[in-house]
Amino acid sequence: MNSIIFRTRHFIADLRHHRHTQAQSLSPISRERRAIFFIILCITLFGLLMVYESSSIYAYRTTADPAHFFKRQFAFSLIGVAFLFLTLFADLESLRKKSKEILLFTFLLLGLVLLVSKKVGGARRWIQLFGFNFQPSELLKISFLLYCADYARRKGILLKDFKKGLLPLLVVLSVIFTLLVVQPDLGTALFWISWTLLFLFLHRARGRHLLVIIILGVVLSFFLIKFYPYRFRRIIAYLNPFADPKGAGFQLIQSQIAFGQGGILGVGLGGSLQKLFFLPAAHTDFIYSIIAEEFGLWGSLGLLALYFFLIHKMFMVAINTKNAFRRSILLGIVFIFFLEVTINIGVSCGFFPTKGLSLPLVSYGGSSLVIHYVLIGLFFNASKEVET
């Protein structure tokens, strides 16, 4: 009996030693990648919970099924995971060589959406496929990312030269800007200007060239807002939402009420009042407001901290890769997540004008969710080079 106990203890000690040795042998990048995967898993599961929580009453009223949006989001999650694995094992060199064709295909879809899609809320942004609405502009997160990563690899130091390095990229950006503005979707167009500025800044483009892009973007935005009354009303509502509390300022006011009701500790899971048809888009663009209401300041800051750690660790992996093309992909994905989180939460808090941009992996939306899974697959694919 004593012999059996001794052997069992010895086996457990050896097992602990093996695990400890294995943990020590993991490279810092491997640990970062594991942490990234764990954080993404936590945010995704929390997102599914909040989609059900924020949409169940609205879903019951509109479809007689309180889990309608949750079921669709879960289905899109499964589709996204399938695409994640496909992307994880994709040949990045082949994607690099086909980056121009992929971007041209996206342009084709953006042009097609103007011809075949129906107007929803005064805009043409979705194409219906097999009973699902697909937003072609989401594909830019893959196609324009791959194109810019390859462009930066090819041009290198020429990015400092305006005519040879920067101008061709600005021509492509102007095409994207035009295709988005005519939908109309000025917010997404400005998103890609901001993303391109960050991308060029990290690739050491000249400051005066970036300043020219900023000035052009501001001037264009001014005229596009000035001559379109609904955009101008959004700006006025952003500056003073109580000037039009039942119109342009309604969403922002209701969002602020949600934050106020949440207080420090929140009203508890399921206790939100703003989701009871007070706050429009409670399960999509303004889901963070419902999170703040139910989980309070500490809960909303906790989610923000998760995003911060995710973006920080993704950035650390990105800057430690040596391959120029892969590093550009990784940095580009970091910038997409950073801008989306910043803008969505900023809009919910009233820091930015209202913009229909989802909270990554949390907000309801099939196109956005699947594309983000593809981006995650691309990230883990491109970061494999770091470990070699």
pLDDT per position as a tens digit, 156-196: 777 787 888 788 888 999 999 999 988 888 888 889 999 99
Cβ-based neighbour number of residue 162 at 10 Å: 15
For the chain, how far is it from start to end, CA to CA, in angstroms? Answer: 48
Whose CA is closest to 375, among 354, 357, 359, 360? 360
In angstroms, the CA 267 to CA 257 distance is: 13
**DSSP-based three-state secondary structure for 29:** helix
Domain containing residue 356: 29-387
- The secondary structure element, H or E, covering residue 164 is none
- In terms of pLDDT, which residue wins out, 234 or 74? 74
Q: Is 25 exposed, middle or buried (0-12, 13-18, 19+ CB in 10 A)?
A: exposed
Total domains in the chain come to: 1
**pLDDT in the model for residue 359:** 92
Q: Check pLDDT > 90 for residue 385.
A: no
Q: Indicate whether 10 belongs to any domain.
A: no
The band of 25, judged by pLDDT with boundaries at 50, 70 and 90, is very low
List the beta bridge partners of residue 134: 127
Round the average pLDDT of the chain to a whole number and report it.
83
Evaluate whether residue 338 is within a structural domain: yes
Helix (H) or strand (E) holding 104: helix 99-116
Give pLDDT, residue 6.
Answer: 43
When mean pLDDT is compared over 64-68, 136-140, 271-275, 333-337, the highest value belongs to: 333-337
Residue 8 within any structural domain of the chain? no
pLDDT of residue 12: 44
Which one-letter amino acid corresponds to residue 291?
Answer: I
Q: Tell me what the mean pLDDT of segment 67-84 comes to.
A: 92
- Residue 7 pLDDT greater than 50, yes or no: no
Quote the pLDDT of residue 19: 44
pLDDT value of residue 164: 81
* Per-residue pLDDT band at 120 (split at 50, 70, 90): low
Residue type, 165: G
Confidence grade of residue 51 (pLDDT, cut at 50, 70, 90): very high
Pick from 366, 332, 374: which is nearest to 70 by CA?
366
Task: Give the pLDDT confidence score for residue 119 in this predicted structure.
Answer: 66
Q: Residue 154 in contact with residue 169, Cβ under 8 Å? A: no
Q: 10-24, 58-72, 110-124 — which one is most confidently predicted on average?
A: 58-72
Q: What letter represents residue 1's amino acid? A: M
**pLDDT, tens digit (0-9, with 9 covering 90-100), for 204-261:** 778 888 888 888 888 888 887 777 777 777 777 777 777 777 777 788 888 888 898 8
Quote the pLDDT of residue 8: 42
Q: Is the pLDDT of residue 29 over 80?
A: no
- Residue 14, pLDDT above cutoff 50: no
- Residues comprising the chain, all counted: 388
**Dist. CA 187–CA 192, nearest whole Å:** 9
Q: What one-letter code names the amino acid at 215? A: I
DSSP 188-248: HHHHHHHHHHHHHHHTT--HHHHHHHHHHHHHHHHHHHHT-HHHHHHHHHHH-GGGSTTTT
Local confidence band at 324 (pLDDT 50, 70, 90 cut-offs):
confident
Residue 345 reports pLDDT greater than 60: yes
Question: Per DSSP, what are the bridge partners of residue 123?
Answer: 120
51 within some domain? yes
Q: Taking Cα atoms as reference points, which of 257, 245, 231, 283 lies closest to residue 72?
A: 283
| Domain membership flag for residue 14 | no
Inside any domain, residue 182: yes
Residue 28: per-residue pLDDT: 64
CA dist., res. 332 & res. 245, Å (int): 38
| 80 is a domain residue | yes
pTM for this predicted structure: 0.87
Confidence (pLDDT) at 21: 42
The pLDDT of 270-283, averaged and rounded, is: 82
Query: What pLDDT does residue 27 have?
Result: 59
Q: Please check whether residue 44 lies inside any domain of the structure.
A: yes
